[in-house]
Amino acid sequence: MREAAALLGVSYDTMRRWADSGLIEEITDESGRLAVDGAALARFAQERADSAGPTDEVPSGQSLRNRFTGLVTRVVKDTVMAQVEIQAGPHRFVSLLSREAADELGLEPGVLAVAAVKSTNVSVEVPRNR
């Protein structure tokens, strides 16, 4: 639950209130802890971002390389390429990569991933301890 709250950019208390009110369904993981299904969280994050609308915030600074941790919300594969969408808070990233890379990373809706952005290229990474 704490990780889900952090991915959505909200407090743990907010995440609990959403779960208690039925906005997001909670599950029990293998260890018996309260959790949120990754695919359900991805859909919820996408719905929240869609309803938020554009923002007028101007960043105070920006690094050359930016990393955004989020959830995979959509994967479209053909025989050679894959299109992967990641929702990281209010930001949506789309990456085109080889199908082989997407398969090796196990990318599917609900998987935790990092969009690493440099210039016009977006690469996708999966943390070791997901």
pTM listed for this prediction: 0.59
Closest among 32, 30, 31, 27 to 4, alpha carbons compared: 27
Name the architecture of domain 65-125.
Answer: Beta Barrel (2.40)
Quote the mean pLDDT of the chain.
84
Range of lowest pLDDT (2-16, 27-41, 78-92, 115-129): 115-129
Listing DSSP states for 97-122 in one string gives EEHHHHHHHT--TT-EEEEEEETTEE
Helix (H, G, I), strand (E, B) or coil at 14: helix
Tens digit of pLDDT for each residue in 19-50?
899 888 888 888 888 888 888 888 888 888 77
Q: How far apart are CA 83 and CA 130, in angstroms?
A: 21
**What average pLDDT does this structure show over 46-70?**
65
User: Domains of the chain: which residue ranges?
Assistant: 65-125
